[in-house]
Every structure is written in structure tokens, then in C-alpha cells.
Amino acid sequence: MGGSAAIARTDRPGSRYIGRVGGLAFALGIGAAVLAGAGAASADTSDSDGGASSSSSASSSSSQSSQTPGTDAGPAETTETKRSTESEAESHAEAEADEQAEQADADSDAAAEEAEEAPGEEIESDPPTEVSDEAPPKSRSASQEEVDPDESAATLSANVAAAVEEPSPFERFFENQSPTLDHDPAENTVVEGRIVGDLHAEDPDSTRLTYTATRPTHGTVVINPDGTFAYTPGASYAGQDRFDVTVSDARSGFHIHGFAGLLNLLSFGLLGSSGHRTTETVFIGFERAVVVSGLNTPVDSRFLPDGRIVVAEKGGAIKIVEDGVLREQPLITLSVNTLGERGVSGLAVDPDFATNGHLYVAYTTSTLRNRLSRVTVVGNTAGSELVLLQSTESAAFNHQGGALGFGPDGKLYWGLGDNGSGSNSQNLTNLHGKIIRINPDGTTPSDNPDLGAGALPQLYAYGLRNPFRLTFTPGGGLLVADVGAASFEEVNLVTAGGDYGWPDAEGVCNTCSSINPIYTYPRGSGAAITSVLVYDGDTFGPDYLNKVFIADLVQGWIKVLTCTPEFTSCGDPQDFDPDAGSTVLLLQGPDGNVYQLTYNPGELVRIAPAGTASSLGELL
């Protein structure tokens, strides 16, 4: 379940010092031992999971530090007492320094283990192996650990011996830098059904990095010791997933992070650091970016031909978003009643807006009437209001509908709820519980269906409860999302003169004379289908062409349906975003991305393929 405010990465810099010791003298002793020789400064931990390169480095350093002048083999060997005594003293001092350094290193490792327990269980990997030119990409260069999708709190960790140039002892000890991650979703590739990417982990002075990843929602992920990963989609994957990765240098041995760490060492006797960490969110498939926030209970939105976005708020304000910025002054503020489901409910832009500036708004007036009006926009202001159609009945507390949009035939379609009374949906003498079809000037089209004597000429279809959103298929079919009462939410393929059953039928009724919905789902403990969109762009790729996106405000998800070519039946619902929030609109933008309007918090969010441009200006 958008733009830079919402996503990308969360860095967590800073260090946490651990291991108090018995005073300044011991701290200075450790520092002197480190500066005395490369053996103590560059010694790696002797854990059994250390990489081959780390082990060889440690062995080499240990061998060099133990070869004092008095212990060199060969013809130059001497037995003079003085040199022997000096050799023994130096060996003893150096051994003592080594012992202190090893103890400090062990303390650092212990602290690292303690710190890594916070995100989840740590899983050690085998040491990395060398990759030849003929070998597969580096994602195959080391053993892997896979997250069990059935474990609710499962996490993934891989220990790595990074192939970086060994820093000097001084740099490693006193100027140790934090590791970084720089994953680019645009680099992700699909290999045999898996999505493969690179975290681009960097640390100039640490030879051992630890990765910890949270479990994705819709699949499993494998983190390799070299920082590459492979994501395997699960059965519920519909194109969007994410997981957080944390990289730490805590396993790289005893070190100090900059001048602050040195001051702590000298002043307080704090031994080094448990490591620095950086966390980044890895997006699979699609990512979200907030285009604009701070909206006050928004209910509908549309793109204008010049790239501006119009947003309608329930309280009557119609606002403009220009270049990603919400203009302070509303385009117009209508006088509305907002009690319950009353207020502004729908918005539509004239197909010829570029020449006539016409904008259409459905709302509840302050005198409690359901009204459809047209305003003319000039620049960032709107002129006088022209009332096109208004109900004669007093607007009820609930079931106001709100679906509004132009069809490919150039006609304006308006979905109005049953006004809190199911009987209205079958009463053809009022507007409630119907789909209404009019010309842009408010007149009645000559080809509207004839529903019999006494029926209002504006009626196109009836038997609906609360038609909240509508959309059109590439072939011109009208799909309506109708909010249910107690049993089912519906998507209906609405045709001229059709009866969709309410209040006699909710969901599929094989014994009724009304038209059944093309898709339903049970309400459970609560539901409200508040958006329907047929995706006909190419930005999401061919897998999403002609898929139907639906959203539920109460249950908080976005799903994707697969329908027959004529949209006479839909099924195979897949989770697209299970945590999408309070969606009131899904809209395909001119850039081919999907835009989501949420009621609370009031935000317009762009959903786009991961790794695409994050600013609205780059997309339009």
C-alpha cells in the first residue's frame, strides 16, 4: 500500500560507545599499544566465521609482530645475554599489548552481537569466495540465508568480509567511517522469476560488514555477503513490496569513530564503539511519493491539461496544486453542508477544458440539496457557478454517492446514492440511487434510455446503493464501484437502462431479474469500495495493461483484478498495497503513473515503478 517526503531511505548515523574500563590509565595504555605496532592495530577478530581474507591478514600481522630482533632465524642469530634480555622484554611488552588489543576486539565483537540482536536474530554466512570471470554475477559468490515467510518477526542477516583496501592502523582506529548503502531500484533485474539488485554497500575502512533485513510482506529475500540480493515473489505479490536493510561495521573490530570517540576514550575510558549503522528501504516493483500533503479531508482530484492538479475538499474548497506546491488561495470555495457524508463528493474536468475552462462539481448545498454545478476557471480563479442539476429531496445524512466523470461519448455521468433510503433506488421519479447522464450544458441527451412513464429523462441506470466512483474501459464500458450495506461490495458494468438490484439484491443474486455485479467481495467486519480504475497506460508495463485497480477505504488496501476482455467478469484479486490507507480515489496520471488520494491524512500520493524520477516536474 509517494515526492521525497514519503520514501527512499532512512539513515541512522551516529555511534554508541560501550564497555567502561577502570580509568584513564588503562585507556591510554590501550591507545599506546595500538600505536606501538601494526599487529595490534590491524588484528581482526578470531571468530570462526571470519572471511578468508580476514584470517590471512590476521595471521600475517601476528607473524610480523612476533619476529623481534632476538628471535630472527638464520646465521645472524646470537646468544648475547643483553640482546636476549632486550628481546624477552620486547616480546613480553608486545605480547601484553596484543593481549589487551585482543580483549578490546573481543569486547567490540560482543557489543556488536548485542547491538545486532535488536533488529532480529542474526544468521551467520559462510565466508565469501572469489568469483572468476566465467562465474555468474556476484550474487552467486557466497552462501545465502533465506527469510521464512511464515515467521511473523523473521529477519535476515548476512556477515560479510568486504573486499576493500586495508586502511592504515591510524585511519582504522581513529578515523573509522560509517558504512553507506546506495541501492538504485532502476538497476533491479528479473532473473528466472526473481528480482535481483545491488545494495552498493561501501565502507572504506571496515573489512567486515553485517547486513540485517526485515521480512518483505509478499515474498522472501536473500542478502548475499557482497551486498547483492535476490527477491522471490510469493503468491500474494502483485507488483509492490519493500524491506528495510541495515548495514553495520560493528564486526570490524575495535575502533574509534572520529574525534568525539577519541575524547571519550581519553576522558571517560569508553572503549571504542559498537559500530555505526545505516538503514535504507529497498522498494520492489513500485514506490510511493507524496506529491502534496496538508489537504483537509480531500474527496476527489483531477489533472488539468497544463499539468496542474485540482483537488476538491469535503468542506467546499477547490484547490490547485502547481509544480508540486499546494496554492494557498482556493480556486473557489462553495457553500456546503458537511454533516455526515454531505459536502463536496465529486469533481470532473471538461474534455475541452483547454479552450472553455469548465470544471464540474457535485456537492450538498447548505440548503440540503444534491447539486451538480459548472464553474469556469481562468488562471487560478473560478468565475460564477452555473447549476446544471439539483435534487428536489432533502439530502440525507448518508449515501450521497459522488461518482462523476466524462465518458468517451462526451457525456457527463453522475452517480448519486440512495439518500439513506433503499426504496429510492427503484423509484424512477427521483435522482437517488441512480447513474445520471447529461450533456455538459445540463441538457438531456436524446439517446438516453426510455425507462417508462414518469421516469426522469436524465436517468441512465438504477438499483444502486451508494455509487462512489466510476471509470471507463478502453472499449467505452462504464464500471461503477458501489458501496454495500451488510454483505458485499460491488463492481458493476453499467449499461443503459440497467437495474442493479438494490435494495432487493446485494452481491450476486441468481434468482433476481436485476443485473449481477462483475465482481464482489464480502464486507466482513466493515468495508467501503471507494475507487475503481482501469489501467490503460504503459508505464507499469504490459502485466498491468487493462487491469482493474480497486481500493477500500475501511479495510485500507489496494488490489488488482484481472477481467475478461469485455469486462463482463473480474477475478483473481491480488494485493497491490495492503497498507494503502484511506483511499478515496485512484487516478491514472498523464505520466502513466497511478495517483492515490487519501482522506486522512489528506495527501495526494504518486505510485510509480521503483527508481523513477521522484519529483512531479520530471514526470509531467
For position 558, what pLDDT does the model report?
A: 96
The predicted pLDDT at position 163 comes to 43
Q: What is the pLDDT of residue 529?
A: 98
pLDDT tens digits, residue range 345-404? 999 999 999 999 999 999 999 999 999 999 999 999 998 899 999 999 999 999 999 999
Residue closest to 310 by CA, chosen among 374, 359, 376, 373 = 359
Contact between 586 and 594 under an 8 Å Cβ cutoff? The reply is yes
Q: Does domain 170-284 have CATH number 2.60.40?
A: yes
Share of the chain above pLDDT 70, in %: 66
pLDDT of residue 444 exceeding 50: yes
Distance CA 83, CA 86 (A): 5
Tell me what pLDDT residue 284 has. Answer: 87
Rounded distance, CA 611 to CA 616, Å?
14
The closest of 386, 543, 555, 546 to 484, measured between CA atoms, is: 555
What average pLDDT score do residues 55-64 get?
36
Per the listing, cell 559462510 goes with: 126
pLDDT at 240 over 80: no
Instruction: Report pLDDT for 535.
Output: 98
- The number of C-alpha atoms within 13 Å of 378 and in the hemisphere containing its C-beta is 2
pLDDT confidence of residue 169: 57
Cβ count near 456 (within 10 Å): 17
Which one, of 316, 367, 319, lies nearest residue 343 by Cα?
316
| Residue range 412-430, pLDDT digits in tens | 999 999 999 999 999 999 9
Beta strands 583-588; 594-598: pairing state: antiparallel
Core vs surface per residue 126-135: b (16+ CB within 10 A) or e: ebbeebeeee
Q: Which helix (H) or strand (E) holds 619?
A: helix 616-619
pLDDT of 268 higher than 80: no
For domain 288-609, give the CATH number. Answer: 2.120.10.30
128: Cβ contacts below 8 Å, ≥ 6 apart: 51, 52, 141, 142, 160, 161, 163, 225, 226
45-54, 194-203, 610-619: range with highest mean pLDDT: 194-203
Mean pLDDT score, 434-439: 99
pLDDT digits (tens, 9 = 90+) for 282-298: 988 888 899 999 999 99
Q: Average per-residue pLDDT in the chain? A: 77
Say how far apart CA 52 and CA 32 lie, in whole Å. Answer: 29
0.85 cut: is pTM over it?
A: no
Question: Where along the chain do its domains lie?
Answer: 170-284, 288-609
CB 272 within 8 A of CB 255: yes
**In the beta sheet, which residues pair with residue 413?**
405, 437
Q: What percent of the chain has pLDDT over 90?
A: 53
